[in-house]
Structure 1
Amino acid sequence: MGKKQVQLIDSLSFYEKAINGQADENSFRYEIMQPMEKMWQYLNAPLLPKTPGGYDVVMASEMMGMWTPRKSVDLIADQISELKATKIFEEYQAVIDTGIARFENIGYEIPLKEFVLNILLADPENKIVMASEGYSGFGGIPGYMILIVFPNDYNRTRLKSALAHEFNHNIRFTYAPFNHGDVSVEEYLVIEGLAEVFAESLFGIEQRGPWVQDYDEEELAYSIEVIKDGRKGRGFEEVAAYMYGDEVAREQGYAPVGLSRNAGYTIGYHIVKEYLKNSGATIEEATLSPSEIIISGSHVFD
């Protein structure tokens, strides 16, 4: 099997230029985002807006919670050294190599030659990212991964786990491609549950992300019932309310459904854990299994 390449985009040099007044919107577009242009094409975000002030990679990046040069550099100036200190720039290769090996060991030939990774500073004024302990990621397009981080005491040790989570998305979507406009609540539960259980299998439960909540039995049972009723809903607007909970749903303009923050991530995690326990499958095997098999085999909605 041919060795997979990992291209790390040099975001640190870009940030150093930014604090010295030598980076602008176009630097962001072409130095930081152009290496991921194919990803952005899938997401219908052009490098340059088609009309002045129109939708482009800069606007899309801001919506995802990244800092861009359209905002004051003072927001991130102190965070560049903090980002370096997390060690993720030295450790990313081992995380991805380990993930690749785990899937190759079960005989899966990953249909990608290269992974492109971007590790970026978050915008501290983005409420959604900051509410997730200052970090998030994106791995929805196979071959491309983004970590978005505003370093703090909580997340600085969890970036390897977050990268493993996004790596699992990359692999899952080589098996079952992601359709943003037609994904079901049920499918999204499985997608996120697989990713977090995979990360946990590599780095332990203590490195689990904040998107999996420690519900008591009553809230767990209540959340399962609400999601059970809505699990066949399709399309990201429908999915978002169930996955993120009412607070984020309102923030993003979606209709709340009566759930706590990150309820869908939490129930998805429990679905995958129950499926693995009941089936004896490994997390790698589950990642390459149909969502309906995982849902039915978990018995969470029985």
Structure 2
Amino acid sequence: MTITVLETYPAMRAILRAPGADRPELLRAMLEPAAGMYRYFPGEVDLVAMHGMSSGFPLDRDEDRCLAALDKLHEVDAWNRIRNALDHAVDVQRQATPQITVPDITVLLILGDPGDEHYMDVSLGMTANGSVSGYLYLNIWPSDENLARLEASAVHELNHNLRYSPGNVVWNPATVTVGEQVVSEGLADAFARQLYGDLGYARIGLPHLHDDEVFAKVLSGLDVTGMQNFTAWVHGDAHALRYGAAPVGLPTGAGYAAGNRLVDAYLAATGQTAAEALLVDSKEVIDYQGRGPLASK
């Protein structure tokens, strides 16, 4: 098993300093080693267009602001910090679950778009994806809060990657439920917290961690299927509207907050660590809530 954190710093620096007409192809070349993360998309994916839709750094404005932010990532040794965190996390996970499949992993760290209001204000300058086996995607604007959580954010996505790698838990788009994703977010945060304490909480989930009304609302949607419906239930209405999905009446990060509560109740009841619970059936985690304080509400 090999973890490769792509050295995107010099490539991003060169892109932001290049003539505007040259930037798209330079970006495409930088992204190509991680193109496999889109292997389940129908048809051929335009990597440059996907970068823009994913709030990646802009190619036509904010060069100085982006170069300063990029240098900040470099100054805090972001790439090595991520590599070291992932190496340690894999060791911890293997000790807890030696039977799991651990793939070779390619990590793409990119700078986000400071002019994207939704990304900066709603997503708090952080988006990431670890759901496709063998690839981790981290899009970060280097605020102090995000830099403090750099390792924890990478480990959160690693947890998803290991849970859904071949031979582990199966994610079937035709049958998967909101409950599975909510539990998976709780497990990923719990694993990050096992290693990094409270820095392991995903920032968007913190405001509603103790909100019983939000928790009960998320619980009401756990059996919803159809991945087009998941954004509203997990990330909240603002994200749903951004990406063309129907809102359901939930604030940003609701599913993360609920997932943490479900998983914490399960871990407390079973005495397991988050690492030990990596492959637990989400239904088993959800069933423990039926014995909790909201069961009769």
Question: Normalization by structure 2: what TM-score?
Answer: 0.89
Q: % of aligned pairs identical? A: 25
Q: Does 2:61 align with 1:63?
A: no
1:35-84 deviations in Å (ceiling 9; x for gaps) = 1122222234635xxxxxxxx12222222221253655345122111111
- Matched to 1:33, the amino acid is L
Question: How far 1:246 sits from its partner (Å)?
Answer: 2.2
Maintained 8 Å contact 1:138/1:146: yes
Matches within 5 A, 1:31-180: 32-44=30-42, 46=44, 56-69=46-59, 73-130=63-120, 131-174=122-165, 175-180=168-173
CA RMSD of aligned residues (A): 2.1
Inter-CA distance 110–191: structure 2 relative to 1 (3 Å threshold):
same
Inter-CA distance 210–109: structure 2 relative to 1 (3 Å threshold):
same
Inter-CA distance 181–15: structure 2 relative to 1 (3 Å threshold):
farther
**Runs of 4+ with deviation above 6 angstroms:** none
Question: How far 1:255 sits from its partner (Å)?
Answer: 2.0
Q: Which residue of 2 aligns with 1:21?
A: 18
Inter-CA distance 216–277: structure 2 relative to 1 (3 Å threshold):
closer
Q: Structure 1: give runs of 5+ residues left out of the alignment.
A: 48-55
Q: Structure 2: give runs of 5+ residues left out of the alignment.
A: none
Question: How far 1:250 sits from its partner (Å)?
Answer: 2.5
Distance across 2 between alignment mates of 1:126 and 1:234:
30
Question: How far 1:294 sits from its partner (Å)?
Answer: 1.1
Maintained 8 Å contact 1:58/1:68: no
Inter-CA distance 129–231: structure 2 relative to 1 (3 Å threshold):
same
Question: How far 1:181 sits from its partner (Å)?
Answer: 5.8
Question: How far 1:119 sits from its partner (Å)?
Answer: 0.9
Distance across 1 between alignment mates of 2:148 and 2:254:
24
Maintained 8 Å contact 1:106/1:285: yes
Maintained 8 Å contact 2:208/2:253: no
Q: Secondary structure of the equivalent of 2:132?
A: coil
Distance across 1 between alignment mates of 2:76 and 2:164:
28
Paired residue total: 288
151-160 vs 120-129, greater mean Cα deviation: 120-129
Question: Normalization by structure 1: what TM-score?
Answer: 0.87
Distance across 1 between alignment mates of 2:26 and 2:235:
33
